[in-house]
Structure 1
């Protein structure tokens, strides 16, 4: 089971999210709904999004389309920068990098902590 938390830091203009565990398609859809509700109150191009993925597990094949959809949303919504923070997990890093390339999310930075 996956979980998420979203916080809006309006002072520093950063949308902070934390994701952990293994997301089911339902978990993914709940996180998308929460994300969309959160961004309605901000001018997204003025913001960065910083996602803590240090406790996230590698995604199962059936959830990859949702993950890809999230990356497409971040691109379409126009964040200044997208940062993913990962623990040392080469498989997850490769998976996320591949999805970002496939949707041409060029302002993505992956930081290993």
Structure 2
């Protein structure tokens, strides 16, 4: 189902994934170590390029109850029944930056560089 969205990269290093995004775009990928080793398990990530062109790599985790969420220090930890719901939410809903007029992002990324 995720492939239908056209937002899945497959296996990438963080640097490779960063090079494949545009402002306010997000993509789902399995993060490879930078040394190209192949561990038995690979973490699932979203790479997101903010409206000010900074790249963020957020881990995707499955909670004990089977629900999915993005770990990025958000104030409300929203969970989703499946990965498709998680991706659709972040593709369709935006946050307005309280600091930059007319800046909208899929994540509250301004919290990464402010004390809000």
TM-score by length of 1: 0.27
TM-score by length of 2: 0.26
Structure number having the greater strand percentage: 1
